[in-house]
Amino acid sequence: MTIYFWTIVAYLIFLVGIGAIRSRGVERQEDFSVAGRQLGTFVLFGTMLATWIGTGSIFGNAGKVYEVGIAAWILPLGALAGIAALSFLAARARRFEAITVQDILERRYNKWARLLGVITLVMTAVTIVSYQYRAAAAVINLTMPTLDFHLAVIIVTAFIIIYTALAGMFSVAYTDVAMGITMIIGILITLPYLWFTAGGYEGIATRLPADHLKPFGPIGWVQAIGYILPPGLLVLGDANMYQRFFSAQTEGKARAATLWLLLGVAYMEWMIILTAWVASALEWQDGKLVQPGRVIAYVARDHLPVWLGAVVMTTIMAIIMSTAISYLLVPATALVRDVYQRFINPQASERSLVWLLRATVIVLGVIAYVISTYSEKFLEVALRAYTIYGTGVTPSLVAAFIWPRATAVGAVTSIITGVVVTLVWEFGGFGAMTGVDPVIPAIALSVIALIVVSLISSRQRS
């Protein structure tokens, strides 16, 4: 286990070194937030893939595989549909020459849309960062059980904050490529080895319950919608994706990278699910594994040669870290660009903005740490965060590109409706009473509010 631990440590030191080197080139806000708009197709693809494949995939989806079996193959469908739709928006987004999604919201609607977009984004992104901390600490804890879990969370938190604050997108984008390559190769090597270790399909079938072998298993259609819609809505309006579009050299490269992303996410998500299915067979304990989300990490520790186990553990850490760093960078950029520079100090110098961005990364990173002390249910937390953003911001953002009749009052009403309905449905207990996930009523009412209020307000204006 010490080898696993020190392999991860070496990997993290390597990343910090790259961040430190790249930080020398950060002189302007555009350098820190959108890499000076210098990214080509391959780097864009790598950074988008590394950002999207995170804890929700490696822990959340793996845990659901342990619970329901191969029927979990449906989990990536929403994200894939969202990315396919996003490919048609990528070039248009790059054309805006923006730095944040909120730039687009104000340009298309008004300042209130910008502010509401910032609030929704910060709520979502900081929550997502918080459970990345716990996930990364869980991996470290597996490789070094004598290390206290809470201390591991603090160590991970410090690393992510320092790395993100060093150079922002200028370093994140390029190290994401290394992380993306680590992911692709790591899972490609691991799955065949585990498959033969488990004895192929016949061996898996003898270890798992019969319903874990069925393609549609125990997931009902209402439950399936609750799993599929949140990530699809999130990726379609994800500020991380748009920030990478803004970082592209050209509109064409932004669109090409998104098409490659569709293939990359399909490969990674389904390979992870298949790996988790095989791992579930190897780690099956009458379905009573205490922390099923860690099933791939357990199998790396228990069933793989040390060298391959170290590759898998490092792969898992790369998946988690890349997402945490990106989701910490985006809200920091939003607060500095969309609140401080827009409303407080429009004449701020580029140098002061860069240092304020770094300070904001530190503050948000600490807040995420506090939030991380509350929940370990990775998939549930992820889906709620996805729903808040996906039902709040995504309808208005997409309408900004494709529906000329969308109005400012319609957009603002839609954002408020999506967020409020999600929170009321979740914390008011309506989900438990009805069995309906908050995403269904929230997205329906958010879209209805956008359309109806826009039509009414546009008619009154004319």
Q: Distance between the two ends of the chain, CA-based, in angstroms?
A: 70
Q: Specify the pLDDT at position 418.
A: 95
Q: How confident is the model at residue 383 (pLDDT cuts 50, 70, 90)?
A: low
Mean pLDDT across the chain: 88
Angstrom distances, CA of residue 267 to CA of 119, 226, 249, 264: 33, 22, 26, 5
What is the rounded CA–CA span in Å between residue 76 and residue 262? 11
Candidates 240, 243, 238, 233; CA nearest to 96 is 243
Average pLDDT over residues 428-446: 88
pTM value is: 0.85
Q: Specify the pLDDT at position 166.
A: 80
Residue 30 reports pLDDT greater than 60: yes
The answer to whether the CB of 415 falls within 8 A of the CB of 116 is: yes
Q: Specify the pLDDT at position 426.
A: 82
The Cβ-side half-sphere exposure at 277, using a 13 Å CA radius, reads: 26
Average pLDDT over residues 227-249: 90
Candidates 1, 364, 318; CA nearest to 136 is 318
Q: How confident is the model at residue 193 (pLDDT cuts 50, 70, 90)?
A: very high
Between residues 29 and 202, the one the model is more confident about: 202
54-108 per-position pLDDT tens digit: 888 888 899 999 999 999 999 999 999 999 999 999 999 999 888 889 999 999 9
How buried is residue 430: exposed, middle or buried, by Cβ count under 10 Å (0-12/13-18/19+)? middle
Residue matched to tokens 């708009």: 37
Q: Which residues contact 168 (CB under 8 A, 6 or more apart)?
A: 26, 31, 32, 33, 35, 329, 333, 357, 361
Beta strands in 115-227 (DSSP E): none
What is the rounded CA–CA span in Å between residue 230 and residue 388? 9
Candidates 27, 34, 99, 102; CA nearest to 349 is 27
Q: Specify the pLDDT at position 379.
A: 47
Go through the domains of the chain in sequence order and give each one's CATH number: 2-377 (1.20.1730.10)
What is the rounded CA–CA span in Å between residue 95 and residue 138? 41
328-381 per-position pLDDT tens digit: 988 999 999 999 999 999 999 988 998 999 999 999 999 999 888 876 555 465
Q: Specify the pLDDT at position 123.
A: 87
What is the rounded CA–CA span in Å between residue 438 and residue 97? 34
395-413 per-position pLDDT tens digit: 999 999 999 999 999 999 9
274-328 per-position pLDDT tens digit: 999 999 999 998 778 888 988 998 998 888 888 888 888 888 888 888 888 888 9
Angstrom distances, CA of residue 408 to CA of 166, 178, 453, 458: 37, 41, 9, 10
What is the rounded CA–CA span in Å between residue 67 and residue 40? 40
Q: Specify the pLDDT at position 114.
A: 95
Residue 437 reports pLDDT greater than 90: no
What is the rounded CA–CA span in Å between residue 424 and residue 431? 10
The answer to whether the CB of 21 falls within 8 A of the CB of 233 is: no
